[in-house]
Amino acid sequence: MAYFIFCVHNHQPVGNFDSVLEDAYRDSYWPFLKALSRHPSIKLTLHNSGFLFDWIGENHPEYIELLRSMVSSGQVEIMGGGYYEPVLSVIPEEDRLSQIRMMSDKFEEVFGKRPRGIWLAERVWEPLLPTTIRSAGLEYLLVDDYHFVKSGLEKRDLGGYYITEDQGNVVKIFPGSEALRYLIPFRPVEALEEHLKGLNAFLRKGDAAIYGDDGEKFGVWPGTHKWVFDEGWLDSFFEMLDRNAEWLKSVTLSEYLDMEEPLGSVYLPTTSYMEMGEWSLPAEASKEYTELVEDMKKLDNGERIRRFLQGGIWRNFFAKYPEANWMHKRMLLVSRELKKLSIEAPKRDLKEAKDFLYKAQCNDAYWHGVFGGLYLPHLRTKVYENLIRAEQSAGAGFVQDGPAIQVMDLDADSHEEVIIRTQDLGLFFSPHNGGGLYELDFRPCAANLSNTLSRWQEGYHHKLLSTGSGDLEGGTKSIHEIVKVKEKGLERYLKYDTSRRGSFLDHFLDGEASLEKFFANEYRDLGDFFQGRYEAVIDGGTLRLSREGAALGIGYSVSKEVKAIGRDSFKVNYRLRGHDKLPPGDFSFGVELNLILPCCDGPACLYKSSPPMPDEDGIGLGSSGVLKGIKGLSLLDTHIGIKAQILLSSPATLWRFPVHTVSLSEGGFERIYQGSCLLFQFPIKQENMEAGFTVKVGEIKRP
């Protein structure tokens, strides 16, 4: 007798659009569960992440009712996890335990049973996790066979579960089969049946075929709904299992644990699934690693070498993307603030604040692979919204009579940031990185107006240049095999930045610079102030940033004074001092701002300027253009109700353009708006000059 273990994980990120969830429910979650219910002998271990489970419960109670009956009959086992699908190893231990227990409590309330196993978000394993899992009252988990191969085991020894421990805390680990992940549901059922029939001859240890992967493969991934449901793949699959029930027994993960002994002990390395190792590497290394893996597949003995190849680890995303690192460390700051409050006032009710924090720990916005993740502004927006709301709910960082100034190394780069808080604003400056503003929070709407993303090179960009559009052929394909393009001409947007985008970053330009060159990052900066290190001095409620450097071929000093005004405004006043005579030429001092509103470049978001922008240039945040003699500019989000107003002390020339990235998603290559770049240029007529900005953020009436 052999065993078939079928484990499915359904997840949608916090902040995803209702329409996306509705489509996923219609195309996958509901028809999958109904199809399974027609085959009561087929067992399933099922995990729904907390955000998705709550959404389904509110919008489709029929799903919960059917699932409850299937759990009651023993057909379905419910698997636990972190409630909002965090990568457990990168959030504080207290938060890990709380999230896991929240989910166990929820499922016990709904189904009358506490989970025994845990779904590990993105299968990100680190050796310290057994202590967390056991402390949370769970006993097993499922990862990929890839994890086991990296510890030195062979795939033919992975027909069951192993035990591992941390500090004596034992958990049981199942290896999900890579072969099954690529067969189900992407290949004909006959090929899957042939594979299963050959299992006993292949396996040296154990007697189980173990599948564990995303439920979205069954209807949400491109081309799969037609293949899985309309063309009958799923019913054929279940019928095949029924047909082979005499020798292939369908069981849940817990049932298998109760029937079979472990195959041995193992200590897994820090890793995730195979593709994650590729995605987390820097762009050039990612490309080379992918090519190397493909080369190994072509060699007769390539698998012998390939099993010892491993890419990066999940935490690499914090080094690869400074925006992800900042967001993560910002989350840790809120977690520390709430922990401090709970110690200082143990009777204080922080449940709502902690729930906002846990929502902000949802993993999707912190990384990028084939899925949009970090590249999707609405997911990043939701992270910041939940972090700000957590602070508001707890009163953490709230200022009654501001401003309040904190100095700390927020982003763990060994350099201190300066945080200025008022009743309505949170301003996060980084003296080490050009003295720039990297987070601008507007508390009343819980929005970070600096939630931008730079144009980073990706290891897969070469596919866009060499392959173009691909098509689905022969039934369906895995996401990892698809190359499609959502619009023509995307290669012209493959422009790359050299640093993270921020505001109040300083440039010295000559007459050869142009909007086109600045957009393409092909201009020549005649100073060393952009991204240079500024010295920071706090004088009462004022932050003074200064740097001695060089520009236009002479010594220069630049100082900028930041001061909050009231609850919703702040000023940045510049003073430039040249230490010698200016060389001949046409020069300007440019101050760069990068801003984004919650509704991005949609129809609700627009510019208003003084003097007004020409109609032919367009006034949406996705428009580009040059405007001379500008005295003020406002960015409006009429749907959310936010207005960011920028007033200048003297007229300037404005260059503006939208920042678009090119990334890969389930549907193929796509262009995504990541914010608007504004460069205010002041002519340099003499060595010494001054310029000033007043920024006011407020609410406006929504239509």
3-state helix vs strand vs coil in the chain, percent to 5: 35, 30, 35
The rounded Cα 284 to chain-centroid distance in angstroms is 21
Radius of gyration of the chain (CA): 28
689: exposed, middle or buried (Cβ count in 10 Å: 0-12, 13-18, 19+): middle
**Under 8 Å CB-to-CB from 255, ≥6 apart: which residues?**
43, 77
E-only strand ranges, 159-299: 162-166, 169-176, 208-214, 248-251
Which is the catalytic residue, given 54, 166, 214, 666?
Answer: 214
SS (H, E, C) 533-602: CCEEEEECCEEEEEEEEEECCEEEEEEEEEEEECCCEEEEEEEEEECCCCCCCCEEEEEEEEECCCCCCC
Of 635, 633, 619, 643, the closest CA to residue 700 belongs to 643
Beta strands 447-448 and 505-510: pairing type?
unpaired
> Minimal CA–CA distance to 548: which of 538, 537, 558?
558
Q: How far apart are CA 329 and CA 438, in angstroms?
A: 13
Closest CA to 312 of 330, 295, 294, 289: 289
Full DSSP string of 129-192: HHHHHHHTT--EEEEEHHHHHTTT--GGG-BS-EEEEETTEEEEEEEE-HHHHHHTTTS-HHHH
Per DSSP bridges, beta strands 587-595 and 404-408 are unpaired
Asked about 601 being catalytic, the answer comes back as no
Cβ(545)–Cβ(505) under 8 Å?
Answer: no
Q: Which tokens hold the place of 503?
A: 């505001």
- Structure-token pair, residue 454: 């730079």
Looking at residue 524, the DSSP 8-state letter turns out to be -
Taking the CB of residue 376, how many other CB atoms lie within 10 A of it?
22
**Who contacts 674 (Cβ-Cβ below 8 Å, separation ≥6)?**
375, 377, 452, 453, 454, 455, 596, 659, 660, 661
- Considering the candidates 85, 122, 355, 458, report the single residue annotated as catalytic: 122
CB 81 within 8 A of CB 48: no
DSSP string of 627-676, one letter each residue: EEEEEEEEEEETTTTEEEEEEEEEEEEEEEEEEEEEEEETTEEEEEEEEE
**122: annotated active-site residue:** yes
What is the spatial distance between Cα 59 and Cα 249, in angstroms, rounded to a whole number? 35
Q: Cα torsion at 391, 395, 398, 404 (round to 10°)? A: -100
- Pairwise CA distance, residues 437 & 446, whole Å: 18
End-to-end CA separation in angstroms for the chain: 66
Say which DSSP state 447 is in.
E
Q: Find where tokens 């945040």 sit.
A: 621
Residue 283 host element (H or E): helix 283-298
Q: Are 623 and 635 in contact (CB under 8 A)?
A: no
In angstroms, rounded to a whole number, what is the distance separating the alpha carbons of residues 657 and 676?
6
Catalytic residues: 122, 214
